[in-house]
Structure 1
Amino acid sequence: MAADIAGEDTGRRRQASGTQHIPPVTTVFVEGDVPDQLAEMSQDEAALAALGYKQEFKREFSAWTTFAVSFAVMGLLPSIATTMWYGLGYAGPAANTWGWLLSVVFILCVAASMAELASSMPTSGGLYYAAAVLAGPKYGPFAAWITGWSNWFVQVTGAPSVDYGCAAMILAAASIMNPDYVPTNYQTFLLTVLIMVIHGCISSMPTLWIANFNSVGTVINILCLLITIVVIPAAAMSEPKFQPNEFAWGIQNGTDWPDGVAVLMSFLAIIWTMSGYDASFHLAEECSNAAIATPRSIVMTAGSGSILGFVLNVLIAYTIQDVAAVMDSDLGQPWAAYLIQVLPQNVALAVLALTIVCAFSMGQGCMVAASRVCFAYARDDCFGAASTVLKRVNRHTLTPVNAVWFNTSIGVLLLLLIFGGAAIDAIFSIGAIAAYVAFTVPIFIKVVFVGSRFRRGPWHLGPLSMPSGVAACAFVVVMLPILCFPSVRGGDLTLEDMNWTCLVYGAPMFLVIIWFFVDAHKWFKGPKINIAHHMLYGEMIDGIESSSDSKTSDIERGSAKKVPL
């Protein structure tokens, strides 16, 4: 990993702005790439202004607290617990061992390539903004539209899916305590809604409060994960419960597909688990020294998640006694059934309680990240007429409260899928597909169309940038159709066993694309700047309204020469 300090750019900024004492800014400016009023701005404000936005949030997130939110959103322990259906259920222990190792290699390529984008363009819009800039004036609006909506779909389904898993574990614990109790869909729905409302209230608090809450939550997440990693093998060593290598690294195909396809299908659990690292990108405008801290947080989250996740998954593979019994348990929650299978009941309940606490913290992180994404897109009028309300920042908390409750409302509506049986599984598949579509669109554009013209930030991959981007794109292209496969096929396929991802994700995306070509292309021009700057192509800026009262720059009038990406 290489880090560049743009000393020469600082000198050019001083000369261009006519000031003598300008603090260095941790971003990359090229000749003439100078925001207005630079001398009056902090380092982070000037870096953000170069991207076309004025500072609206307080920068009260540090590198650690940004990582805290990102790690909380990833939520290794509750994520692995919630998605055992799709890992162990599809491919058996192999999904937890060599399947995890194989997939995280490519996932780390996606994360590293995203970190480069975050260093170059640290805004709340994140991937959406990057897609618009990299695609250029002609295709930028459409690239931003696809990336933005796909990313919002995964964000708005994040909290409902996590909170649904949290509620299922709470009710499973109740079933363990009282074997006669069988949770109903209605009870699961109401408990999940209650958890979401609590998260909405916390996410409406001031930034510093949210940062502190998530810092505590991340510490709890790490401690609970470490305790679980210690408790499971300790219990297994008390009796000869460890499975042989042939079992732990072997495939137990739970699908109607060949073994290789079953393993690829099991990547759904890994991809969904390892999709929270982008939260750091969306908090960039609230983070100090964002061009360095944000990419570091992304890589730290993905790296630590890969290692700790592998350790926990290996423990599960070596200690689980009967995969089929765990999947078919009357508890309705594989993690709870697994704990009961390998631990004494009281110890199993204690570990399950730790997992529930982690899931609550994870759902909170998802809610915070989703609200920032919603705000960023509303700021650019992606939501049409509703954008006026969604882009308002509460004057008391200085947080996007309207966006928080809009996402909460949509999440509650999605939870009605609980009453549709297997349809609720689609919100997990969306979390994988929509996330990696949004992650990869700007990376694909950078690799295929921009290449060496990409304007790097102070954190970058150096010569590994292109190989990492190619590997990331290839992985996602292969996985997109695989993640839409049902576990059964042919005459065994019923409506209950159908994979509804194509419909739940594909139908809204199809409508969004139709909306763009029928109407939105007339008024949506990509990121809508609110301060005069010199970052984007002149053609892209031309025609976009700026809410800044400062003097219109040459590039905004369309008369400036193109600058390289």
Structure 2
Amino acid sequence: MASHSDVKGIDAPKTDPPSERRGSLVVDTALAGEEDAAVLAKMGYKQELRRNFSMLEVFGIAFAIMGLLPSIASTLAYSIPAGPVGLVWGWFLASLFIFIVGLAMSDLASSMPTSGGLYYWTHYYASPKWRNPLSFLVGYSNTLGLVGGLCSIDYGFSLMFLSVIVIARDGNWTPSNGTIYGVFLATVASHGLIAATAASIMGRMQTVFVVMNFVLIFATVIALPIGAKHRLNSASYIFTHVENHTTWPSGWTFMLSWLSPIWTIGGFDSAVHISEEATNATKAAPLGILFSIGSCWLFGWICTIVIAATMVKDLDSLTGSAFGQPMAQIYYDSLGKHGALGFMALLMIVQYLMGISILVAASRQAWAFSRDGALPFSGFFRHISKKFGYIPVRTTLGCAVLAAVLGLLCLIAPAAAAALFSLAVAGNNLAWGIPILCRVVWGRQKFSPGPIYTGRFSIPIACTAVTFLVFGILLGMFPVGGPNPTAETMNYTCVINSAVWGAALLYYYIDARKWFKGPQITIDLSQLTEEQQEALKQEGVKVEGGGLAVVGGRKEMIADL
């Protein structure tokens, strides 16, 4: 990537508010500083979103999406069947590999921080033959994966909310699928309203969300051992005891326990999607990725150890709890009815906050994809609302509506609803893996490091990351309970994700190949100096005179700033 000096020019006269001219590049100081706008301009985009997020707040949105303890609670059904070893060591080992994925993504995020990062990187690094279909596939997989993440978070919240009612009624009530969906729908609607109207404070809200997460973590880590002090499990039980409550071999049951951390630590790409709203994005985005994963790795491991130390040894009583949530039963066994109610209420609140953060990330990815003309009705969805704080309100509400539609799976059966979890895992794993693979296979010479870079270890790290992501996709498609599943225990991820990926590719080859040529130019090239145009060329963008650009072989008229 060209240096920042390539896109900077002479100082502007001070009589030009609210915009200042820096050479020939117009910088709207109400939206961004000169350096961040220049980095974005090198990728062909003008600054349209307001940079409200500090480096800490970028970390905050990724960590808030992960919602560590609520996510562990929502996915205990994957890890408990393997016993304490699956719960504790499954978390540690899977988190290690997820951190490696984060390192590989950080190299790319520091080099090219843009909201559409994953599909943008794919198009930039892939060969000319494959860049358009792969970029199209990644964009759709990432968009639907993030919306699937919103579905699974809000579905998990619905179960937690209703579990509080079940606890209050001493287990003498069972919510219907319709009741679950009703709570889910109200949750999605409220998230859409908040995400669309609270742009000015959204960054600061992430800090509050992080504090809430740590309050819950520390309270749980302290309270559970105190409540279960007369029956704490031994260190040998916690770290070495293996069980198998599936019909798979014990080794594969242990591998399936990895699904808990894989799903939990799954929102780190949100730091990429929010990068056009972050100050000092070349550092904020990669560090947000690494610190959010690292924090979840460490504190999640501590939480799993405490859970293994305080849970009853009858694991079937946890997975088959009348409360509908293994974590609710663990709180109940250690702290009694009132303690369980208090902690599940706090858990529920943090889970709710996760949904706000992931909707923000999903909407920015959908907006970036619309900006490049790839989504249906892109002209409608790429609109930026100045009234609500320079954010894509239409894509925010559109993602909420799509989540409400996908959530109809809740009405079918628990197995169908569980596919929402795996939709997020498989969809995002594919979207993360393809740009990293393209960089290794085709883009080694084109890659130019940013300020955060793993150096000579970059390629081995990328290869390890891709291998793990492929494994994660396959893992997410296995029936959790064992082979020969029934209709009720079947994992429908293979059906849902194959439909998503197949439909995206079919759409591309039938129609989109005629008009989708990858990321489009939105800056006005007539305002750029020769040095700035040369910087664009170094990014793989061909520049012609007369305000025209060629991206992937297609002429695009350049929109005026």
* TM-score, length of structure 1 as denominator length: 0.89
- C-alpha contact (below 8 Å) 1:61/1:208 kept by paired residues: no
CA pair 60-352 structure 1, distance change in 2 beyond 3 A:
same
- C-alpha contact (below 8 Å) 1:205/1:399 kept by paired residues: no
- Asked if residue 45 in structure 1 is aligned to residue 33 in structure 2, the reply is no
Q: Distance in 2 between matches of 1:382 and 1:443?
A: 21
Letter in 2 for 1:442: P
Q: 2:477: which partner in 1?
A: 484
Letter in 2 for 1:73: I
Residues 482-506 of structure 1: CA distance to partner in whole angstroms, max 9, x if unpaired? 221113455x521111110011111
Q: 1:473: which partner in 2?
A: 466
Residues 197-241 of structure 1: CA distance to partner in whole angstroms, max 9, x if unpaired? 11111100253222222221221112111211111122232x132
- 5+ residue gaps, structure 1, are 1-5, 23-33, 551-565
Q: 1:72: which partner in 2?
A: 64
CA pair 396-486 structure 1, distance change in 2 beyond 3 A:
same
- C-alpha contact (below 8 Å) 1:137/1:540 kept by paired residues: no
Q: Distance in 2 between matches of 1:270 and 1:67?
A: 18
Q: 2:140: which partner in 1?
A: 149
Q: 1:123: which partner in 2?
A: 114
Counterparts of 1:107-256 in structure 2 under 5 Å?
107-179=98-170, 180-237=172-229, 239-246=230-237, 248-256=239-247
Q: Distance in 2 between matches of 1:172 and 1:283?
A: 33
**Other structure's SS at 1:460 match:** coil
Residues 276-303 of structure 1: CA distance to partner in whole angstroms, max 9, x if unpaired? 1111110000000101111111111011
Q: Distance in 2 between matches of 1:151 and 1:544?
A: 27
Q: 1:84: which partner in 2?
A: 76
Q: Distance in 2 between matches of 1:264 and 1:10?
A: 45
- Asked if residue 271 in structure 1 is aligned to residue 275 in structure 2, the reply is no
TM-superposed CA distance for 1:448, in Å, is 2.3
- Asked if residue 316 in structure 1 is aligned to residue 313 in structure 2, the reply is no
Residues 106-139 of structure 1: CA distance to partner in whole angstroms, max 9, x if unpaired? 1101011111111111111011111111114332
Q: Distance in 2 between matches of 1:11 and 1:272?
A: 41
TM-superposed CA distance for 1:247, in Å, is 5.1
TM-superposed CA distance for 1:246, in Å, is 3.5
Q: Distance in 2 between matches of 1:35 and 1:305?
A: 44
Q: Distance in 1 between matches of 2:6 and 2:203?
A: 36
Letter in 2 for 1:56: E
- C-alpha contact (below 8 Å) 1:35/1:50 kept by paired residues: no
**Other structure's SS at 2:174 match:** coil
Q: Distance in 2 between matches of 1:11 and 1:392?
A: 31
- C-alpha contact (below 8 Å) 1:169/1:352 kept by paired residues: yes
Q: Distance in 1 between matches of 2:240 and 2:68?
A: 21
- Asked if residue 543 in structure 1 is aligned to residue 554 in structure 2, the reply is yes
**Other structure's SS at 1:97 match:** helix
TM-superposed CA distance for 1:13, in Å, is 5.1
Residues 28-71 of structure 1: CA distance to partner in whole angstroms, max 9, x if unpaired? xxxxxx99527887111111111111011111110011111111
Higher mean alpha-carbon deviation, 34-43 vs 434-443, is at 34-43
TM-superposed CA distance for 1:92, in Å, is 2.3
Q: Distance in 1 between matches of 2:446 and 2:371?
A: 28
TM-superposed CA distance for 1:314, in Å, is 1.2
Letter in 1 for 2:479: P
Q: 2:530: which partner in 1?
A: none
Q: 1:354: which partner in 2?
A: 346
Q: 1:448: which partner in 2?
A: 441
CA pair 109-58 structure 1, distance change in 2 beyond 3 A:
same
Q: Distance in 2 between matches of 1:337 and 1:528?
A: 52
Q: Distance in 2 between matches of 1:471 and 1:335?
A: 33
Q: Distance in 2 between matches of 1:75 and 1:415?
A: 20
Letter in 2 for 1:310: W
Higher mean alpha-carbon deviation, 62-71 vs 539-548, is at 539-548
Q: Distance in 2 between matches of 1:499 and 1:406?
A: 27
Question: Which residue, 433, 446, 452 being the options, matches 1:459?
Answer: 452
TM-superposed CA distance for 1:10, in Å, is 4.9
Q: Distance in 2 between matches of 1:129 and 1:202?
A: 28
Residues 241-290 of structure 1: CA distance to partner in whole angstroms, max 9, x if unpaired? 22442454332222221112112122111100011111111000000010
Letter in 1 for 2:25: Q
**Other structure's SS at 2:78 match:** coil
Higher mean alpha-carbon deviation, 502-511 vs 536-545, is at 536-545
TM-superposed CA distance for 1:542, in Å, is 3.4
Q: Distance in 1 between matches of 2:153 and 2:109?
A: 26
**Other structure's SS at 1:354 match:** helix
CA pair 328-394 structure 1, distance change in 2 beyond 3 A:
same
Q: 1:329: which partner in 2?
A: 321
Letter in 1 for 2:291: M
Q: 1:399: which partner in 2?
A: 391
CA pair 449-10 structure 1, distance change in 2 beyond 3 A:
closer
Percent identity among equivalent residues?
32
- C-alpha contact (below 8 Å) 2:125/2:446 kept by paired residues: no
Q: Distance in 1 between matches of 2:52 and 2:7?
A: 26
**Other structure's SS at 1:545 match:** strand
Q: Distance in 1 between matches of 2:503 and 2:409?
A: 20
Letter in 1 for 2:227: A
CA pair 303-489 structure 1, distance change in 2 beyond 3 A:
closer
TM-superposed CA distance for 1:305, in Å, is 0.9
Letter in 2 for 1:138: K
Q: 2:545: which partner in 1?
A: none
Residues 308-340 of structure 1: CA distance to partner in whole angstroms, max 9, x if unpaired? 111101111222112110001121122112211
TM-superposed CA distance for 1:21, in Å, is 9.0
Letter in 1 for 2:232: K
TM-superposed CA distance for 1:478, in Å, is 2.3
- Asked if residue 436 in structure 1 is aligned to residue 423 in structure 2, the reply is no
Q: 1:555: which partner in 2?
A: none
Residues 172-204 of structure 1: CA distance to partner in whole angstroms, max 9, x if unpaired? 111111122221211111111111111111100
- C-alpha contact (below 8 Å) 2:89/2:239 kept by paired residues: no
- Asked if residue 412 in structure 1 is aligned to residue 404 in structure 2, the reply is yes
- C-alpha contact (below 8 Å) 1:197/1:408 kept by paired residues: yes
Q: Distance in 2 between matches of 1:39 and 1:70?
A: 28
- C-alpha contact (below 8 Å) 2:44/2:521 kept by paired residues: yes
Q: 1:424: which partner in 2?
A: 417
Residues 155-188 of structure 1: CA distance to partner in whole angstroms, max 9, x if unpaired? 1112221111111111111111112222121111
